Amino acid sequence: GTGTVTASPYPAEYDREYLSPVSLGTPAQILDLDFDTGSSDLWVFSSALPKSQTGGQTLYSPGNSSTSSVLENHTWSIRYGDGSGSSGTVVNELVTIGGISARRQALEIATQVSGSFTQDAASDGLLGLAFNSINTVRPTPQKTWFDNVQSSLAAPLFTVNLKKAAVGLYTFGAIDSKAHTGSIAYAPVNTKNGFWQFPLTGYAVGTGKFSNSSIDVIADTGTTLLMLPTNVVDAYYKGVKGAYYDTEYGAMVFPCTAKMPDFIFGLGSYRGSVPGSFISYGQINTSTCYGGLQSSEGLPFGILGDILLKAQEGNDGTWSTFEIGLGKP
């Protein structure tokens, strides 16, 4: 079959994360999870958390579900790129998304979460959509929901259609022919690091010439910003009057009045564009804005985060949506 679920941006004006409803257990407990193609753990806020670490999230309670069973002697502990983290125990549970069910999904119950999760009332946990090899459950790593349901999908793929300040969609098992115009560009995925990793074929800034270069990136719905090698970032902000590296924020910032050039990227022979307006991410004070494009210095690859994934390229005046199709060839 195929299944579709909404992806709602939060907070509305910042698109910092996208949340999707997931049904857990019997009777159904619905939690809003951050689908993350940059990790492979499905973990939720739970009744096992100290109250002091919760902040308004919906808590999954295994005791209230007739289909949950403890995965004995298994634990998990995860650390994310922004320094946040969580850990806990594991149950097998019925997990349904858009009508597609995994009957015995490893569902990771948080017994500890770091402060930024406690403060984020909108997110009840994460659903990892990267590869099984980076799942943190021990002693036996567990499979992702996408891996568990693949045999029941019409096609072994999912598509991501995030939108700026509007509700988008994750679709499992089919490519919606209404959601794209023209042919689809494919790139070979390198799964050795457990991510959806592939090469971009180059970039251009605004109306400048396209620079052919192979840039290793991962498609990561769980990362808000677009992170690329320093030489690309420097080339981009050279086109932004008054842009500079703010050591306090550790980020490129610029006057909010600056005209932002579009960012063009190559994927095979396909050319996608991120509107310049998306690269003004938000104000840090009345006159200075924070860049949606930052350096991936120190990372083994660039990160195509939400800033790029939500981009809609305007062609012949219409809007077609840039979406990522992720699946096995």
Angstrom CA distances, 211 to 156, 203, 214, 236, stand at: 34, 5, 10, 12
Amino acid, single-letter form, for residue 161: N
Q: Can you give the three-state secondary structure of 241-308, one letter per residue?
A: CCCEEECCCCEEEEECCCCCCCEEEEECCEEEEECHHHHEEEECCCCEEEECEEECCCCCCEEECHHH
| Eight-state DSSP code of residue 115 | H
Six-digit token string for 82: 């922004």
Distance of alpha carbon 126 from alpha carbon 44, whole angstroms: 7
CB 127 within 8 A of CB 145: yes
| Eight-state DSSP code of residue 60 | B
- Give the helix/strand (H/E) hosting 8: strand 3-10
Question: Angle at CA 122, nearest 5°, toward 307 and 88?
Answer: 105
CB 156 within 8 A of CB 141: no
* Residue positions annotated with a catalytic role: 36, 220
- In terms of Cα–Cα distance, which of 305, 292, 303 is closest to 228? 303
Query: Locate tokens 């052919």: which residue?
Result: 212
User: Which residues are near ligand 0GQ by CB under 6 A?
Assistant: 16-17, 34, 36, 38-39, 78-84, 116, 120, 126, 134, 136, 220, 222-225, 281, 290
In sequence order, what are the residues at sequence separation of 6 or more whose Cβ sits closer than 8 angstroms to the Cβ of residue 105?
42, 92, 93, 94, 95, 145, 148
